[in-house]
Structure 1
Amino acid sequence: MISLRNITKSYRNGFKRAFVLRRVSLEIEAGEFVTIMGPSGAGKSTLLHIMGLLDEPSDGEYQFRGTPTSSLSEKQRTELHRTQIGFVFQAYHLIDDLTVYENLETPLLYKGLGRSERKSKVAEMLDRFSLVAKQKLFPSQLSGGQQQLVGVARALIIEPRVILADEPTGNLQSAQGEEIMQTLRNLNRNEGVTIVQVTHSEKQAGYGDRIVRLVDGAVDEDVAVDAGAATAA
């Protein structure tokens, strides 16, 4: 599904070039749950943003479902991002002046869905994530865990082929974080949604299938997760 070949990201810093990613190559198959780890400044979020078409590499090739993303027009990139890639952010990124219902509906408006279909899909997500009673509330009226559940529901409502999660439990208490990780794992195990997450937590990494460790912008390790690691942690 995701193929990265020698992905490099660099910036000009005076007369020098500062490297964020150095020749990163990864293959992520449909239905995998992959965790990207590494110290601060290792390039984790930059790599995730490139996968989500929010950023572009300086060099290398990124293929999404066999299509080189460099060959896509800006319109095609936007369409791909809106219809096949769901994002879950550490800071939730909900729209403050929209209700829960309206936050969930917004991605469907971008897709151009009709009113009745939007209503049906939003109702399904509200029920699925036990948010029916919260649908008229604004983000500021929700707990952190509830806001992140809305964020997951919003990512899922477009029926994406992959969910990219950047520190999805970073701002949550332990119990709330567990709920979010269980939700992501259930989506992966039961519905085959491909998930790529960035986290500093070894315990959260245990919910996935593989751990890719970055050091100084390069892949240092790519290993399978020991079965049952999440529950044992």
Structure 2
Amino acid sequence: MIDLQNIEKYYSNKGVKSYILRHVTTSIQEGEFVSIMGPSGAGKSTLLNILGMLEEPTYGVYNFMGEDVTSLNERKRIELYRNHIGFVFQAYHLIDEMTVAENIEAPLLYKKIGSSERKSRVADMLGRFNMVGKRDLFPNQLSGGQQQLVGIARALAAQPSVILADEPTGNLQSAQALQIMELFKKLNQEKGIAIIQVTHSEVNAQYGTRILHLLDGVIKEDIKTAS
């Protein structure tokens, strides 16, 4: 599903290269749950952004679903992203002027999905996440945990092959964080959705079937967990 070969990301300043990622080579299969860990500045979020096609590597090859992402034009990359990737952010990234239902529907508009299908998917998400009564509320009327649930519902509505989650419980209390992680586990095990999360939490990392430890932009360990 995902194959990274010798991925590097660096910035040059007066001929001096500042590396963020170095020689990252790994593969992630369909249905895997991978946790990416490491100290601040290790390159975790940059790696996730490259996987999510929000950033391009400086060097190396990224194959996704059989497509060489690094050789695609921007239009093709956007199309691949919209069809297969759901992103869940630590800061939620909901649109303040949109209701819960409208936020969930937003990615479906970009995919040019018909009105009746959009309404069906939004209703399904609202029901699954017990938010039917909150469909007309705005993000600032929700708790942090509820906003994160809307963010996940929005990602799922597009029926992605993989969910990329950047510190998905970083702003949540422990009970809400547990709810989110159990939800990811269920989506992974029951729906077969691949999940790749960046996390500082050892507890959250153990939900994954593999843990990649990054240090100074290099994968130092690739460990299978007991999950």
Please, what TM-score do these two structures have when normalized by structure 1? 0.96
What percent of counterpart residues are identical?
60
In the TM superposition, residue 14 of structure 1 has moved relative to its aligned partner by: 3.4
Quote the residue 2:20 is aligned against. Answer: 20
In the TM superposition, residue 114 of structure 1 has moved relative to its aligned partner by: 1.3
* Aligned partner of residue 203 in structure 1, secondary structure: helix
In the TM superposition, residue 7 of structure 1 has moved relative to its aligned partner by: 0.3
Once the two structures are superposed, the pairs formed by residues 134-173 of structure 1 within 5 Å of their partners are 134-173=134-173
Q: Name the CA distance, whole Å, in 2 between partners of 1:42 and 1:13.
A: 20
Quote the residue 2:190 is aligned against. Answer: 190
Quote the residue 2:200 is aligned against. Answer: 200
* Aligned partner of residue 159 in structure 2, secondary structure: coil
In the TM superposition, residue 72 of structure 1 has moved relative to its aligned partner by: 1.5
In the TM superposition, residue 91 of structure 1 has moved relative to its aligned partner by: 0.2
Q: Name the CA distance, whole Å, in 1 between partners of 2:32 and 2:109.
A: 29
Quote the residue 1:70 is aligned against. Answer: 70
Deviation sequence 1:166-210 (CA, Å, 0-9, x none): 000000000000000001010000010000000000000011100
In the TM superposition, residue 13 of structure 1 has moved relative to its aligned partner by: 2.8
Quote the residue 2:217 is aligned against. Answer: 217
Q: Does 1:49 align with 2:39?
A: no
Q: Does 1:38 align with 2:38?
A: yes
Q: Name the CA distance, whole Å, in 2 between partners of 1:57 and 1:15.
A: 18
* Aligned partner of residue 159 in structure 1, secondary structure: coil
- Kindly provide the amino acid, as one letter, of the partner of residue 131 in structure 1: M
* Aligned partner of residue 27 in structure 2, secondary structure: strand
Quote the residue 2:95 is aligned against. Answer: 95
Q: Name the CA distance, whole Å, in 2 between partners of 1:119 and 1:192.
A: 24
Structure 1: runs of 5+ lacking an equivalent = 228-233
- Kindly provide the amino acid, as one letter, of the partner of residue 94 in structure 2: L
Q: Name the CA distance, whole Å, in 2 between partners of 1:139 and 1:80.
A: 28
In the TM superposition, residue 85 of structure 1 has moved relative to its aligned partner by: 0.2
In the TM superposition, residue 113 of structure 1 has moved relative to its aligned partner by: 1.0
Deviation sequence 1:133-164 (CA, Å, 0-9, x none): 11000000000000000000000110000000
* Aligned partner of residue 136 in structure 1, secondary structure: coil
Q: Name the CA distance, whole Å, in 1 between partners of 2:200 and 2:75.
A: 34
- Kindly provide the amino acid, as one letter, of the partner of residue 48 in structure 2: L
Q: CA RMSD in A?
A: 0.7
Structure 2: runs of 5+ lacking an equivalent = none
Stretch of structure 1 that moved more, 67-76 or 179-188: 67-76
Deviation sequence 1:67-97 (CA, Å, 0-9, x none): 1112222111011111110000000000011
- Report the number of matched residues: 227
Q: Name the CA distance, whole Å, in 1 between partners of 2:13 and 2:174.
A: 40
Q: Name the CA distance, whole Å, in 1 between partners of 2:15 and 2:75.
A: 34
